[in-house]
Amino acid sequence: MESMSRRCFLKTSAVAVTAAIAASFPRSLFGLGSTDASGYFEREFGITDALCRRVLAEALSKGGDYADLYFEHTIGNWVLLEDGQVNRAYCDVALGVGIRTVKGDQVGYGFTQELAEKSMLNAASTAASIADSGPRQLREEFKELKLKDYYPLETLLTIVPLESKLPLVQSVNDRCFASSPHVVKVNAGFHDQQKRVLILTSDGSKVEDLQPRNYLYASVVAEKDGRRESAWWNLGGRRDFSFYTDAVVEEVAETSVQRAVTLFDAIQPPAGEMPVVLGPGVTGVLLHEAIGHGMEADFNRKKMSTYSTMIGKKVAEPFVTIIDDGTIPGQLGSINVDDEGTPSERTVLVQDGILTSYMHDNISAKHYNVASTGNGRRESYQHFVQPRMRNTYMLPGPATPDDVIRSVDRGIYVQDVSNGEVRIGEGDFAFYVSQGRMIENGKLGAPIKDINIMGNGPKMLQNVIMVANDMELAKSGAGSCGKGGQSIPASFGQPTILVKSMTVGGVKG
């Protein structure tokens, strides 16, 4: 059983078996207890300050400018329903430490699943190999940072019993079938994750955090006159279990069904260059993918981004302001602290059309001689830090949504997109329009399907000619952002905006 306290991954085919197995594991494995993050790793795993100082000393034994330790204990649970029955439930547990030594802009990295001193010293020795000079002295003691809490919990989701989660997925299933006679298949599920982190640095800082993540979803297949359509929807974020009210269950079910049934009336629009209206909320993924990545500082430090020479220059019209913000309560991309121990903040990237900042981790901040913006993030203790987005969105503008739509004689309205491809450096992108409508003579028309929108992110930003006052943030808890082989939770949003011209790939008109 000792090995299970270091790492386990369990899958079963029945809820009862999962519950029985979970009950047999050590208390520390599943992190039962207080929602207070402070002192968790010392209390449960014996990680003392003295031990961490010895490991950091080894990480700097050959020199280096800086070193840090990133301890992680993550617990994830899934309850999945298919064909009217909860037929899968499983959990996974990850436990380990990542050890980093930094020399200039070079990084040495080691990690271990074993939280024994010998294993950690070996991983620290691997990280130290990036340097080749004399040892660097540590500060005398650690100073623990006090954080604001953007995702307070009344109770740990790991101790919410399965009996309380099962009615959520069953109710979503039942309501999907009740919403339309065309629904023929429903998959529903609930996922919750609890990540505890402890970060200690050679500069003497120490910080602990407890990061929840969860969502409820439905995937629906509908059939009409021999034709099938599918859609899905989810709600969540960094939420307490009390978030999952009857109203949330209803919205997940109703929205997923409505999105599927709408596609029965969808047409294929003509192809070509035309005005495109992006609706509020989830279409902010275009802002995230096609524009936001280009404002991450590592791409600019390496001269890979279109924006690498654009600080202080105009990149959009004066009514465009873009924010990356880790401090929005309950939002998926929010973090109390980044993975280098920098408290989260709200960062203005574009102010009134002028590029004012990149998103920085410690390495890029040192390169540009600025403070870190708290964007140093990693997927897990097995991964190194990169500058990454949190919640990236555009502020509302002076128009109304009706004003924006009325201004378009012929174009398309995009409600949601999926399956995107982006070349981050240049910003070239293509996204599949999963939900949208035609715009004819300033009015919304028939639903559309089977089209892509294509363009260039920086050019698209320059071509935003109207911004409405209806900014929304995506309410998903399932979204993840990929970069450099790592996937992290992030979110996005925007108001209704008009892009004066984009390439629409559909049926030639």
Q: Domain extents for the chain?
A: 3-262, 270-508
List beta partners, residue 188: 81, 218
Q: Which amino acid is it at 447? A: P
For residue 137, give every residue at least 6 positions away whose Cβ sits within 8 Å of its Cβ, in sequence order, or none: none
Q: Which residue has the tokens 């090995």?
A: 3
For residue range 66-113, what is the model confidence (pLDDT) as tens digits?
999 999 999 999 999 998 999 899 999 999 999 999 999 999 999 999
% the chain with pLDDT above 70: 93
Its pTM stands at: 0.92
Determine contact, residues 432/416, Cβ cutoff 8 Å. Answer: no
What is residue 424's predicted lDDT score, i.e. its pLDDT? 78
List beta partners, residue 197: 72, 209
Say if residue 24's pLDDT is above 60. Answer: no
Which of 13-17, 197-201, 378-382 has the least mean pLDDT?
A: 13-17
Mean confidence (pLDDT) of the chain: 92
Per the structure block, which two tokens stand in for 72?
Answer: 């992680």
Plot region of 268 (φ>0 → left; ψ -120 to 50 → alpha; else → beta): beta
Element (H, E) at 276: strand 270-278
Given pLDDT bands bounded at 50, 70 and 90, which one contains residue 30?
low
Per the structure block, which two tokens stand in for 502?
Answer: 């984009």
Q: Return the sign of the alpha-carbon dihedral for residues 441, 447, 450, 456.
A: positive
For the domain made up of 3-262, the CATH class stated in words is: alpha beta
Per the structure block, which two tokens stand in for 475?
Answer: 């309410």
Given pLDDT bands bounded at 50, 70 and 90, which one contains residue 420?
confident
Q: What is the average per-residue pLDDT within 307-324?
A: 97
For residue 129, give the 3-state DSSP assignment. Answer: coil
Q: What is the average per-residue pLDDT within 454-482?
A: 96
For residue 241, give the 3-state DSSP assignment. Answer: helix
Alpha helices in 60-161 (DSSP H): 117-128
Given pLDDT bands bounded at 50, 70 and 90, which one contains residue 15?
very low
